[in-house]
Chains A and B, each alone.
Chain A
Amino acid sequence: MSTIAQGAVRPAKPRSDFAALAVLLAGAVALLTGFALPWIVPSKLAMSLLAQSLFDALLATSVGVLILQNGRVSFGQAAFSGLGGYAFGVLVARKLVGAEAALLIALLLPTLLAFLLGLVIARVSGVAHAMLTLAVGQAFYEIAFRWRELAKGDDGMSFDLPARIFGISSRSLQDPAIMLVLTWSILVVVLVGLTLFARSRTGMIAAAIRDNEERSRFLGFSTMVPRALVYAIAAFVAAISGVLQATYNGYIAPQMFHWTVSGFALIMAIIGGAKFIVGPAVGAVVLFYIKDFAGQVAEYWPAIVGGALVVVTLTMPQGIVGLARLLWLRRARR
């Protein structure tokens, strides 16, 4: 091997270490920014709206992970956020386990289920995959809708949180300012974690399988487990969203599972830029406020949201973050 070859290839590791450090640094700055949000955001109502948009951001991020790492589009990701919220709400309401254990179960149950489902549904792609995820999501919706003994069926169920969870006052978890900081912090940690995962060995193998499954097999990789792992990670992120919503609202309802929730999460991911880890979260916040604004000025607000999607799809094929990146690169070249 030539000296040139060694020189050209070996620097990859330090460069990669630097990038990982930059991600961690950016995450730390974002975390600190989160603590300032209650002073920046003008009112409790605005804080509440922003916190809810961040719940959506987590769900949209979950949809984005599937697109980015597996190349798969899901119309049923709300199944996992709903399952997280329901598991937490039902276990806490019925006092079957302590709130901390309920939280753990609510996060792990959807994750495990998604891993097992992933081993099956990862084998199909395209429209068939989208339809399968839709079917799974709607199956959960139907169960929650019809099983009244579980959580009062279509009426939904309110529940009281115990006085403290992990030593934190439950009442404070329903305070908009605290929930805003908490959700922001969790979102930042999730985004940093996903970025590091994408750069990890498993993340790179998953990306290779996304790009070319057959070649990956002939390189010697099992292609099912990395794909299923990505489903599990995506479900974990979705479950966090569901648990936070259930905790904040003290209420669960079958609508949490509905395919329209999954559909909106997909729209958010596309608007923000599904090829970027941060894209779906940006899209979620933007779309949340478009929805909020459109709802105030027009009865048929979904038409405005639809129009926004058409505009973004036509003018920004890589979403808002893709456009921002393009503009940044153009400016840097000048």
Chain B
Amino acid sequence: MTEFALEGAALTRRFGGFVALDGVDIAVKRGEIRGLIGPNGAGKSTLIDVLSGRAKNRGGRVLLNGEDISELSSQQRRKRGMARSFQRTNIFPELTVEQQLRVASWAVADADIAEVMDELNLIALADLPAAEISYGDQRRLDLALALVGRPRVLLLDEPAAGLTTEESFSLARILRDLANRWNVTVLLVEHDMQVVFSICDRISVLHLGRSLSEGTCAEIRINPTVIAAYLGTEA
């Protein structure tokens, strides 16, 4: 079996004349937390969309644990163990926290929701409609929905967006801990560099729809190309 849980090869995506992804390659090892960074418009969210099946790739292949899933729908990808969260909070506002996690569990062979509620501190909110809980709680619920059934690969699109520094680090700690214990492979798009550097094993950098660089956190911090294109001298 391949050592990579998730691979994207020569992924291409165009919107009219604009090339959002231009032959991007990415390979994430099993159990790894991979950060995906780059300036706005670099193609990070498009890459997540193509990998998860939200957007059709116009070239290249997506492999999940060695299996070509390029032609599979998002539902089929979920059944094979790929889950994702979204840039904007994407929950079920009228269902209670417990109801929506229960619904999520039905899609993955009646998975246990108690463990997810416990890990993400959602138990006290179980009976509240999602629309009535705080933004920070909604972000944790969003993550919990993706984590139900212990997916093998988790694609996270700015999970800490809009959170306070304290909430962001709390979420990062939970993510790091769960990825280790549940052996989840994570591809994380995040603008908060402190979060990225604190939990990622490796980082991929995108710029103008192309792979700019890849390496460990330490390597990326001192990479002159990355500093020039994205991080700047403060990083």
Q: Which residues of A contact B (CB under 8 A)?
A: 1-2, 4-6, 8-10, 12, 201, 204-205, 207-208, 210-212, 214-215, 217-222
Near A by CB (< 8 A), chain B positions 80-100 give: 83-84, 86, 90-95, 98-100
Closest to A10 in B: B114
> Could you say which residues of chain B place their CB within 8 Å of the CB of A4?
118, 123
User: Contacting chain A: which of B13-21, B71-79, B183-191?
Assistant: B71-79
Alpha-carbon separation in the docked complex, A1 to B93 (Å): 27
A to B CB contacts below 8 Å, 18 in the list: A2-B118, A5-B114, A5-B118, A5-B123, A6-B114, A9-B98, A12-B98, A12-B126, A208-B92, A208-B103, A215-B86, A215-B90, A215-B91, A215-B145, A217-B75, A219-B103, A219-B104, A220-B79
> Could you say which residues of chain B place their CB within 8 Å of the CB of A207?
92, 94-95
Near A by CB (< 8 A), chain B positions 104-138 give: 104, 106-108, 112-115, 117-118, 123-124, 126
Residue B102 is within 8 A (CB to CB) of chain A in the complex: yes
Contact A208 B98 (CB under 8 A): no
CB of A27 to closest CB in B, whole Å = 23
> Could you say which residues of chain A place their CB within 8 Å of the CB of B102?
12, 204
Closest to B115 in A: A1
Partner of A204, one of B74, B90, B99: B99
Q: Using a Cβ–Cβ cut-off of 8 Å, how many residues does chain B contribute to the interface with A?
A: 36
> Could you say which residues of chain A place their CB within 8 Å of the CB of B45?
none
Contact B114 A220 (CB under 8 A): no
Contact A221 B95 (CB under 8 A): no
Contact A218 B74 (CB under 8 A): yes
> Could you say which residues of chain B place their CB within 8 Å of the CB of A218?
52, 54, 74-75, 78, 83-84
Partner of A211, one of B84, B94, B118: B94
Contact B117 A9 (CB under 8 A): yes
Would you call the interface of chain A mostly helix, strand, loop, or mixed? helix
Alpha-carbon separation in the docked complex, A40 to B231 (Å): 80
CB of B127 to closest CB in A, whole Å = 9
Alpha-carbon separation in the docked complex, A63 to B161 (Å): 39
> Could you say which residues of chain A place their CB within 8 Å of the CB of B126?
8-9, 12
Closest 4 CB pairs of A and B: A5-B118, A220-B107, A220-B78, A211-B92
Closest to B92 in A: A211
Contact A208 B75 (CB under 8 A): no
Alpha-carbon separation in the docked complex, A211 to B90 (Å): 10
Q: Known pairs A8-B124, A204-B99, A219-B107; list 20 more (Cβ under 8 Å).
A: A5-B117, A5-B118, A5-B123, A8-B123, A9-B114, A204-B103, A205-B103, A207-B92, A207-B95, A208-B95, A210-B94, A211-B92, A211-B95, A212-B93, A215-B92, A215-B145, A218-B74, A219-B78, A220-B107, A221-B75
> Could you say which residues of chain B place their CB within 8 Å of the CB of A222?
75
- Given contacts A4-B118, A211-B94, are A219 and B145 in contact (CB under 8 A)? yes
> Could you say which residues of chain B place their CB within 8 Å of the CB of A1?
112, 114-115, 118
Interface centre among A9, A12, A212 (most CB of B within 10 A): A9
> Could you say which residues of chain B place their CB within 8 Å of the CB of A219?
78, 103-104, 107, 145, 148
CB of A267 to closest CB in B, whole Å = 23
Contact A212 B91 (CB under 8 A): yes
> Could you say which residues of chain A place their CB within 8 Å of the CB of B92?
207-208, 211-212, 215
Alpha-carbon separation in the docked complex, A220 to B94 (Å): 20
> Could you say which residues of chain B place their CB within 8 Å of the CB of A210?
94
CB of A234 to closest CB in B, whole Å = 19
Alpha-carbon separation in the docked complex, A317 to B141 (Å): 29
CB of A214 to closest CB in B, whole Å = 7
Closest to B155 in A: A218
CB of A200 to closest CB in B, whole Å = 11
> Could you say which residues of chain A place their CB within 8 Å of the CB of B83?
218
> Could you say which residues of chain B place their CB within 8 Å of the CB of A221?
75, 107
Alpha-carbon separation in the docked complex, A219 to B76 (Å): 10
> Could you say which residues of chain A place their CB within 8 Å of the CB of B93?
211-212
Alpha-carbon separation in the docked complex, A124 to B74 (Å): 20
Partner of A205, one of B74, B91, B106: B106
CB of B112 to closest CB in A, whole Å = 8
Closest to A12 in B: B98
Contact A9 B113 (CB under 8 A): yes
CB of B55 to closest CB in A, whole Å = 12
> Could you say which residues of chain A place their CB within 8 Å of the CB of B91?
212, 215
CB of A216 to closest CB in B, whole Å = 8
Closest to A204 in B: B103
Alpha-carbon separation in the docked complex, A207 to B73 (Å): 22
Interface centre among B54, B113, B114 (most CB of A within 10 A): B114
Contact B90 A214 (CB under 8 A): yes
CB of A292 to closest CB in B, whole Å = 35
